Amino acid sequence: MRHPNGELPMFINKLNQLYKPKRVLYYLDASDDDVRAFYAGTVPEKIAAYANAFGTYDYPGVFFVQSLGRAVIGIEFRLDDSRIHYPSGLQSLVLEASFFYSIEIDNDAEISRDSIRTIFAGIAADDDAHRAYSDLSIKENPEVVAAFIAYKKIRILYEWKLDADCACSVINNDIDKFDKKDLYRKAFFDSITGHDNWNRLVASLEMPMDKGIQDYAFVHFDIKEFRVINEVYGHIAANKVLSRVVAAMNSADFVYASARCHNDNFAMMIHDMPEAEMRERLEKFFDDLSHLDEDPNYRIYYRCGLVPMQRAMLSGNRVADGAKMVQALGTNHNKTEIIVYTDKMHDDVLWGNYIKAYLETAIAHDEFVVYLQPKFDITKEVIKGAEALIRWNYKNKEFLSSSRFIPFFEKDGSIGRIDDIVLQKVCMALARWKREGKALYPVSVNLSRNRMYDRNLIQHLTDIVDRYGVDHALIDFELTESAGYDNTEHMIRILTELRERGFKISMDDFGTGYSSLSLLTQMPLDTLKIDKSFVDRVCIASEREEDIIVIRHIISLAKELGFICLAEGAETKAQVDRLRALGCEVIQGFYYSRPIPIAEYESRYLNGSGTEA
């Protein structure tokens, strides 16, 4: 469609259909110049003062009211509510309850009541405004047409009439109003595309032989940034995309059965093929669906979870769980991603669910054990402290490394329980060593990123330490640098307050993340820990000068910023000597000691001179 002035093409975003109850319009008479000024962003002060006020149904707008015979500028309020501060000094008119069709157009369009009527006449010819429980059609002589301004857009509401209302029967449980075929259609078919819904596909998953399916692979996918299509190009364009996906599934020769599950999510039972062929067929399937009719420059991408035949058959009617899990791993917005569900993923899911359920029992049985790995001052060859590391004496049968459970507890939110156990056990040991007059060195404990939004986190951690009477300076909270932070300012506030309470703060795994340098000048750090991946490149046959330059500059940077520099993972004397020559002050690594039980740490480092290595 073209602009009303006929010069430029007009983009119309069909937003929705909506209902406004009986209401009161407070308004000012408006000249043609007033209306043009409104569309340019100038709202009369007497109207603008009530924008977003309690009880308003919409923003200030231009209203073409048939009973007034002219355009006015006003704002709508709920009727008869003593809590509302209604405008004074404005004219008012009660508007009857009505339905509207809502669109957006560019704000450079010259609009009038006649041009708006022309726009909606075209919409009525193209869109029957059928909704799940009601049907609307254009009103020949609308009482109200309204226009509202938004950023570079004009939103227009045009009154439509109600032709059919099935919602009343649903709300009132009037079963007799529905015939059997209608109920069947609503239960098993999608109202927008007319295609099978998830309920109908489940029948084929439970009883594939009834569909003539012997075996199958399973696919679950969605449309990336579908919300953008809906909001920018309108729901009519979005629904056309959904219908094109359905048409493609129906015509694909490798699809046994398919469904539109909900929103922009779809599922397919497909022929079993070698993985490479399956990927190739799916890539072409999605590529053929990548264009948008309304905008040839917009490209549509998909996020697809694929469960191969063997795992699909073993999963039965729960196969969608695995497909949706791997589908969620697709995070690149600018490409179509097909992610295959593997046996390892399946085993990880089962293991993660099991240990989540077993966690409380493990805590009750005191199965979590703290090991300490010493840190050495390599300028004096004396112990400097230790890092507390968690091990799981699983059912008192085998020790599990942290990699077998920490990632799962981080994912399900249980990591706080583990962090607290480590902190408590460290404080118990420090309190005992203090009573026994042993030497006390700081111990670092991990502080999971996932806990940054825990309520009362700072006080909670402080209470644990104070319960054992441990000096705050003996506790060093380590935060890993290797992952990003959603809210850097919040994280810095938490760490700053912990440091103000006397605790030490370390950044672990420095050099493995993407935000290191931007964070370094802001974070309240005491220690910067160079990641083991850097130390591994020192004193090896393939050592590169570039790696040594990077390490030297990290050490120099830490010192200039006033941080202690600690290198993790040194395993040989040659590495320790080289790191010392580069200016590193503290080492934590196998050269001095592996992580060891608390009792062994005590006997080796607290009962003697503290220099044993």
Backbone angles phi, psi at 436, to 5 degrees: -85, 0
pLDDT at 29 over 80: yes
Are 168 and 174 in contact, with CB atoms under 8 Å apart? yes
> Nearest CA to 235 among 389, 17, 70?
17
Counting residues of the chain whose pLDDT is more than 90, the rounded percentage is 69
Task: Give the pLDDT band of residue 158 (cuts 50, 70, 90).
Answer: very high
Residue with tokens 């679950």: 220
The CATH number fitting domain 359-530+594-606, selected from 3.20.20.450, 3.40.630.30, 3.30.420.10, 3.40.50.1820: 3.20.20.450
* CA 585 vs CA 383, 547, 568, 581: distances in Å: 12, 19, 12, 10
- Exposed e or buried b for every residue in 316-352, given b needs 16+ CB within 10 A? eeebbebbbbbbeebeeeeebbbbbbeeebbeeeeeb
- Whether the predicted pLDDT of 613 surpasses 60: no
Q: Is 21 helix (H, G, I), strand (E, B) or coil?
A: coil
Within 13 Å of residue 579, how many CA atoms lie on the same side as its CB?
33
pLDDT digit string, tens, across residues 53-63? 999 999 999 99
pLDDT at residue 455 in the model: 85
d(CA 416, CA 413): 7
| Confidence (pLDDT) at 347 | 85
Domain boundaries, the chain: 13-167, 179-341, 359-530+594-606
What confidence tens digit (pLDDT) does each residue in 364-400 have? 999 999 999 999 999 999 999 999 999 999 999 999 9
Q: What is the DSSP letter of 603?
A: I
Q: Are 301 and 290 in contact (CB under 8 A)?
A: yes
Closest Cα to residue 101, out of 73, 72, 130, 79?
A: 130
- Would you state the structure tokens that stand for residue 55, as one six-digit string? 């009880």
* pLDDT single digits (tens) 398-432: 999 888 999 899 888 899 999 999 999 999 999 99
DSSP 231: I
Query: In the prediction, which pLDDT does 19 show?
Result: 93
The set of residues, in sequence order, having a beta carbon less than 8 Å from that of 430 and lying 6+ positions away, is: 440, 443, 468, 470, 474
Query: Given a cut of 80, is residue 144 above it in pLDDT?
Result: yes
Please report the beta strands in 452-581, taking only residues with DSSP state E, as ranges in sequence order.
Answer: 475-480, 504-510, 527-530, 564-568
Say what the pLDDT of residue 576 is.
Answer: 94
Q: Do the Cβ atoms of 533 and 511 come closer than 8 Å?
A: yes
Looking at residue 179, its pLDDT comes to: 85
**Taking a C-beta distance cutoff of 8 angstroms, is the pair 63, 74 a contact?**
yes
Q: Which of 13-27, 106-120, 277-291, 549-563 has the highest mean pLDDT?
A: 277-291
Distance CA 75, CA 87 (A): 10
In this prediction, residue 125 has a pLDDT band, given cuts at 50, 70 and 90, of confident
* Domain with residues 179-341, CATH architecture: 2-Layer Sandwich (3.30)
The pLDDT value recorded for residue 611 is: 52
Which CA distances in Å does 130 have to 122, 126, 214, 239, 530? Answer: 16, 12, 39, 12, 62
Looking at every residue in the chain, the average pLDDT score rounds to: 90
pLDDT for res 516: 57
| Residue 374: strand pairing partners | 386
2 has pLDDT over 90: no
CATH architecture of 13-167: Alpha-Beta Barrel (3.20)
Reading the block at residue 559, the tokens are: 């010192």
**Can you tell me the mean pLDDT for 281-293?**
96
pLDDT of residue 200: 96
Helices (H), 89-228: 113-126, 167-171, 180-188, 198-206, 226-228
Q: What is the DSSP string of 498-535?
A: HHHTT-EEEEEEETSSSSHHHHHTTS--SEEEEPHHHH
State pLDDT tens for residues 203-232: 999 999 999 999 999 999 999 999 999 888
In percent, how much of the chain has pLDDT > 70? 95
Whether residue 610 is predicted with pLDDT greater than 80 in this model: the reply is no
φ, ψ of residue 581 to 5 degrees: the values are: -65, -30
Residues 68 and 72: their CA atoms lie apart, in Å, by 9
Question: pLDDT by residue (tens digit) across 328-341?
Answer: 989 888 999 999 99
